[in-house]
Amino acid sequence: MRGHKLVLNGSYGAFATPYFILYNKHVAGTITAQGRDLTKTMDIVNENYWYNQWHLDFELHSKLGIKNVTKIDSSKDDDGNRIEPVSIYADTDSVFVSFQPAIKHSEWKNVHLNNEHLSKISVPFLILEHRTKTKTDNKNLVSIINSPLDLINEIRDKNPSLIIIDGFFSKDRDLNKVIDDIKVDVIWNWSNELDYIQGIDQFRFGEYFKKMLDDYALKFGVPNEEDFELERVSESIINIAKKKYIQHIVYEDGISHDRLTYLFPKGVELIRSSTPLFAREKIIEIVKYLFAHPDDFNIRDLIKLVKNLRTEFELADINDISMQSSCSRYEDKIIDDKDKLEFVSGAHFAVKASAYHNYLLYKNKEYQQKYEFIKSGTKIKYYYCKDTKLNKIFAYIRGSYPMEFSPDICYDAQFEKAILSPINSIIQPLGMPTITKRLSVVMGVFS
């Protein structure tokens, strides 16, 4: 499958390249159009299942062992948005599915591994669990095991009539093969949302998408080569703009991740190469706050966090709050850095900031043995200056801060560029007001 994908992607690139002997922009355009149509079709297929089939899929309800399944609301609000969306976003080759409506419209959590239910079981039963330690006084319980590898032996030795299995094991292919072969009733118990989602995918969604893809390919008279798989599960997503979002991932490619340990930005530079060391950690902390409080975050709490950061910022080492860049084409862009600062039109800010450093070093000859002049190719750090008469930005060679003649830093401007700007770019799409450099917000009168 991966080989096919590489060949197809490469073929598209070739047909779209004018230097290719078989270059044809119409073929390239058709490839992208087909991809859009496929993604749009899967989006429709996804909505069709949840809105029209989910509440009637009694076979799945029985397989999952869930109760009180109700219909998901497919209506739209005045702006044309779904009241209960099941398709959040469609990307180039992906559909972002929301399982929240399914979680809301079913009774699924610990339906079977609870004292009330266990006490009523009147046949010999066995429990296969992973996370919890179930306790029951029911004497019909013949065994509790923690590994699927022990299941065959336990069935043979204890001869249970019923097996209750922790949903953690729903993706275990070997276990599912064993279950298909044994003549014992099996019910699944779901203790958390991730397991429940994987169970829905395992017992219905994966095969449902495969069948829809087969039907889609049949319309064109070709075998299906596509596969929509559950690639990752995100607890929540911050959608900033088209193809720009941050995912709080709890599962990816068979691996579960603890909450708030895996943030995946797509098309968003949470951390740029220029971002100061201090800001790198703090911006991530702010994003984690937003993901930790998806339903109750508010601007007041956020401003408190930012104000605390502002205090820490001013106490931090200058090297940790200065931004990073490099100086290129210095000799071509600088007219004078000895007697005065003069640049050619359009000179890059890093070149101007470097020239400011060199100008001050020329004026302080006693430090020329201690510090080097900046030239093309030099890796620099820079910050915004309190006094902007000569230049608004000052640069220095990384690891060589000239404290003896460096201009005072403007903490307000530096904090705004390093911390506030990236934070505002994230919170504004969430409908929160911009945090100003005075660490306050301006609320619209009619908002």
Maximum CA pair distance of the chain?
Answer: 96
Is 100 part of any domain? yes
Are residues 422 and 335 located together in one domain of the fold? yes
Are residues 134 and 221 located together in one domain of the fold? no
What is the mean pLDDT of the segment spanning 95-105? 95
The pLDDT value given to residue 20: 80
Percent of the chain clearing pLDDT 90 (strictly above): 66
The pLDDT value given to residue 90: 80
Are residues 181 and 203 located together in one domain of the fold? no
Is 41 part of any domain? yes
Is 254 part of any domain? no
Are residues 218 and 96 located together in one domain of the fold? yes
> 29-43, 212-226, 394-408: lowest mean pLDDT where?
29-43
Res. 201: pLDDT tops 90: yes
Are residues 71 and 182 located together in one domain of the fold? no
> 58-62, 91-95, 142-146: lowest mean pLDDT where?
91-95
Range of the domain at 423: 294-447
Res. 4: pLDDT tops 80: no
The pLDDT value given to residue 225: 82
What is the spatial distance between Cα 60 and Cα 359, in angstroms, rounded to a whole number? 75
232-274 confidence digits (pLDDT tens): 999 999 888 888 889 999 999 889 999 999 999 888 777 778 8
Provide the token pair at 243: 């193809």
Are residues 303 and 418 located together in one domain of the fold? yes
What is the spatial distance between Cα 123 and Cα 159, in angstroms, rounded to a whole number? 11
Are residues 430 and 414 located together in one domain of the fold? yes
Instruction: Answer yes or no: are the C-beta atoms of 179 and 161 closer than 8 Å.
Output: no
What is the mean pLDDT of the segment spanning 342-351? 95
Model pTM?
0.81
> Which residue did the predictor score with more confidence, 132 or 85?
85
Last residue of a domain, one of 166, 191, 216: 191
The pLDDT value given to residue 181: 87
Confidence band for 400, pLDDT divided at 50, 70 and 90: very high
Are residues 347 and 419 located together in one domain of the fold? yes
Is 287 part of any domain? no
Res. 5: pLDDT tops 70: no
Confidence band for 14, pLDDT divided at 50, 70 and 90: confident
Res. 447: pLDDT tops 70: no
How many independent structural domains does the chain possess? 3
27-81 confidence digits (pLDDT tens): 878 888 888 888 899 999 999 999 999 999 999 999 999 999 999 999 999 999 9
Write b or e for each residue in 222-233: b if 16 or more Cβ atoms lie within 10 A of its Cβ, otherwise e: eeeebebebebb
Are residues 124 and 205 located together in one domain of the fold? no
Last residue of a domain, one of 139, 160, 191: 191
Last residue of a domain, one of 206, 230, 254: 230
Confidence band for 376, pLDDT divided at 50, 70 and 90: very high
Are residues 444 and 303 located together in one domain of the fold? yes
Are residues 360 and 444 located together in one domain of the fold? yes
